[in-house]
Amino acid sequence: MAKNKFNKNWLHDHINDPYVKQAQKDGYRARAVYKLKEIDESEKLIKPGQVIVDLGCAPGSWSQYARNKLAGKEGGGINGTIIGLDMLPMDPIADVHFIQGDFREQEVLDQLEAVLEGRKVDLVLSDMAPNLSGVAITDAARVEHIIDLAIDFARAHMKPSGALLVKCFNGTGFNEILGKFRQEFKTVAQKKPKASRDKSSEVFLLGKVLKNPS
C-alpha cells in the first residue's frame, strides 16, 4: 500500500513538475537537461569546437543540449564533436556519435578512439547513477565506484586543461569522493542546480584542469 502511495505521489509530482513541462515544450528527452544548462551557463563549459563525451548518456537530454550549443555551423551540422556512451540503447540524435556498450571494454574503447581520431576530450559529462538499494553504505560504494570510473575515463581521454562534471549524492561517502576530486583537479566546485529536486541529496561535482595528467 505504501509503495502504491509513493508511486502516486511521485507521478503527481512528476506530472506537475515545471521542468518536466519545460522539457516537453523545448523538445528535450528529460528534465535533467536543465541541471546541465544551469551549470553550463554559470561555468561556460560548452564552447564551439570542443570534443565532448557524455557518459551514461541515455535517454539523451544532455547530449541534446550539448548538440544545440555547438549547432550553427555553416551548411548545417555542429562545430565540434559529441560522443555519447551508454550500456542502454538510445534513440539517435543528429550529429551525436552514439556508442552502445560498457566503456571499460576494449571493443567500445576502440569505437571511441575511431571517432576521436587521436584527439583528446575537452569536456566529460556524467549523469550516471547506480540503482540505489536504500542501504546507505552499499549505495555510497556504488556511487563512488561509478565516479571512480568517470575519473579514470577522464584521466585516460581528457586534455590536461579539460573538465569533468559528475553527478554525486551528498551523504555517506561524499567527503571521500570530494577528496578524490581535489587530488585529481586543480579546481573543484560543488553545484546544486535549481532543477535538482529539493528532497534529493543530488549534487554535481565539477573538476577543472588535471593536476597530474598522464
Assess contact for 94 and 104: CB atoms under 8 A. Answer: no
What whole-number distance in Å separates Cα of residue 176 and Cα of residue 46?
Answer: 28
What whole-number distance in Å separates Cα of residue 116 and Cα of residue 97?
Answer: 10
- CB atoms inside a 10 Å sphere around CB 180: 17
Q: Determine if residue 91 is labeled as part of a ligand binding site.
A: no
Q: Determine if residue 17 is labeled as part of a ligand binding site.
A: no
Q: What CA dihedral angle connects 40, 41, 44 and 50, to 10 degrees? A: 50
Cα separations (Å) of 12 from 2, 20, 183? Answer: 15, 12, 42
Q: Determine if residue 127 is labeled as part of a ligand binding site.
A: yes
> Which of 103, 100, 28 has the alpha carbon at shortest distance from 66?
28
Q: Determine if residue 95 is labeled as part of a ligand binding site.
A: no
All three cell numbers of 177: 569522493
Q: Determine if residue 60 is labeled as part of a ligand binding site.
A: yes
102: Cα within 13 Å, side-chain hemisphere: 5
**Which residues does the annotation mark as catalytic?**
167
Place of cell 569546437: 49
Assess contact for 108 and 156: CB atoms under 8 A. Answer: no
Assess contact for 183 and 165: CB atoms under 8 A. Answer: no
What whole-number distance in Å separates Cα of residue 43 and Cα of residue 64?
Answer: 18
Task: Output the known binding site.
Answer: 60, 62, 86, 102, 127
Please report, in range form, the residues annotated as the binding site for S-adenosyl-L-methionine: 60, 62, 86, 102, 127
